[in-house]
Structure 1
């Protein structure tokens, strides 16, 4: 439920610190125990499913997923996540549901978290058609009555850079300078579609299969913005991660728009790649195993190598 899923599954009781940063697995596991105490839940046997911008734990003794923000600079998004999830539920959009009976978000022991109902196992693996159908439903919703931020996709990139653990000063300056350059190009874009409520990080990793069909998750980046942005992540997944091109063709045929044929796509690609590069900056010391891939991505981006394949953070 982040810019890029991190496919790790680790027994929470067995995790140990891999570094000295603020978000080691040991510290996050301790935070999980405090959060569960507030919600009267048992964290015993929980599994760490994912760790980039958030630590996502699945409880073993309750049908509950706990999502702990693993970035101090991005905690401002969590109130919005709760509002958007409630709005989607109100309009019966297939999406993960907040755990009822608990005031959310939960703030305890210096951490911020949200608690979610576990999605039942079953159903086919989501594909591009599923993503397109869900995006069309989200984009068709009325503008919510509560305040939502406008689309400023590089704000979170800058926050991650400012919070980065162990980032070289030259790399920091490069990333911030590139953000300024790309932001200038964003202001010159002429979007074909009117602004809507958008998911903001719409890739197949943010669809969860269920017996009733796929459901959306991860509303950290939701905002009022151009629907074209929601069509971009899957296109980038094909060129950077080698995802099957057929999945993107499914998205195009079902949604009805090929964003790669739009003259502003190159700018959106740069924005997406900046997000993919910087997603683990706040945990780079806490989890040093991400550093080699992060630096390889940064080097490719700096050199303008648009064909290099990237690996998922592991």
Structure 2
């Protein structure tokens, strides 16, 4: 059994790993503040001038190495995205956990407008692809990995596993209409932040893959119609900025359901350490079972 399997990945464990990684990278771990805990633990340091990401498991290492390569590619293309914060070799690996350091964008989380998001995504999709290879989008692999580790009820795990199998079959039958290519993989308002000068930049670059462009459009659409996190006007601005309304595509509801499943399994990773997360997972699963409104889902 590895260290990663023996030790729960909670905020204290992640911070300890971060402090050790700072020593290896020649950085001073001042003013550490946790921002969120998911596939990575994300911390703000040094008054927000540096943001660090600590991978939950050693199996995150390939995607983090790809993230560093993507960051360098986008910088070379002068695309407005997250920039690496140190010349030290990245990622820094501590007991198998990959750790990266990024330039902070602002004192707080100030988000881009939805029109800016659509324009930035169109520009991203229009770039010449990188010289290095990107993996193919395989959303159900991530579902399987998360459910294999999640501390949730056996009944809940069985339901989500069955739902994943049903959606995987439907996903295979989708008729995508946009040309495939490189994707951000997790494009949503939380990943397009303003820098200190107010300019929007795309962050969280570890999910880059190749696949149907509809995948990068789906979250903003569902944040509007399933969750009410965007207004009708904000969503219209996004669709206009990109030049395509994914909600009018025949496969939209299937792709939306896949994304909802990923939202539940993402949160399930914290169920063993956070009672609030465990309760929220069960609440979300009940709405998936019943077809109820997603607007009661609490943000995490």
Same fold, judged at TM 0.5 (above): yes
Which residue is 2:216 aligned to?
230
- 1:129-208 to 2 correspondences below 5 Å: 129-164=115-150, 166-208=151-193
Shift in alpha-carbon separation, 1:122–1:61, aligned structure 2, 3 A: closer
Given that 2:58 and 2:98 are in contact with CA atoms closer than 8 Å, whether structure 1 keeps it comes out as no
Report the count of equivalent residues. Answer: 293
The answer on whether the counterparts of 2:119 and 2:242 sit within 8 Å (CA) in structure 1 is yes
Taking structure 1 as reference, are residues 25 and 77 closer, same or farther at Cα in structure 2, changes over 3 Å only? same
CA distance in 2, matches of 1:50, 1:246: 29
- Return the match for 1:274 from 230, 246, 261: 261
Consecutive unaligned residues in structure 2, runs of 5 or more: 1-5
Distance 1:168 1:307, change over 3 A: closer
1:97 aligns to 2:83 (yes or no): yes
| Residues in 1 aligned to 2:60 and 2:271: alpha-carbon distance in whole angstroms | 16
Relative distance call for 1:21 and 1:247 in structure 2 (3 A) is: farther
1:56 corresponds to: 42
Identify the range of structure 1 (205-214 vs 54-63) with the bigger mean alpha-carbon deviation.
54-63
C-alpha displacement at 1:289, in angstroms? 2.3
CA–CA separation in structure 1 for the residues paired with 2:234 and 2:252: 18
Judge which range, 115-124 or 289-298, deviates more: 115-124
Q: 2:18 — aligned with what?
A: 32
| Superposed displacement of residue 75, structure 1 | 4.2
Instruction: Please give the alpha-carbon distance, in whole angstroms, between the structure 2 residues aligned to 1:264 and 1:43.
Output: 46
Match of 1:44 among 30, 33, 39: 30
2:93 corresponds in structure 1 to 107
* C-alpha deviation, 1:253, in angstroms: 1.4
TM-score by length of 1: 0.87
Q: 2:233 aligns with which of 246, 253, 265?
A: 246
Distance in 2, matches of 1:310 and 1:62, equals: 29
Retained in 2: the 8 A contact 1:240–1:309? Answer: no
Structure 1: tracts of 5 or more residues without a match: 1-19
Match of 2:277 among 283, 290, 293: 290
Residue 260 of structure 1 is matched in structure 2 by 247
| Contact kept? 1:24, 1:287, Cα under 8 Å | no
The structure-2 alpha-carbon separation of the partners of 1:269 and 1:139, relative to structure 1 and needing over 3 Å to count, comes to same
Alignment match, 1:215 = 201
Deviations, residues 113-150 of structure 1 (Å, cap 9, x unaligned): 11111224599741111111110111001222212111
* DSSP-derived class of the 2:238 partner: helix
**RMSD of aligned Cα (Å):** 2.1
| Cα deviation 1:40-68 (Å, max 9, x = unaligned) | 11213211112122111111268221100
- Structure 1 residues 220 and 62 mapped into 2: Cα distance closer, same or farther (>3 Å)? closer
Kindly tell me: are residues 285 and 122 of structure 1, through their superposed partners in 2, closer, same or farther at Cα, counting changes over 3 Å? closer
- Match of 2:269, SS? helix
Partner of 1:302: 289
User: Using a 3 Å threshold, how does the CA distance of structure 1 residues 177 and 230 change in structure 2: closer, same or farther?
Assistant: same
Q: Which moved more, 1:115-124 or 1:295-304?
A: 115-124
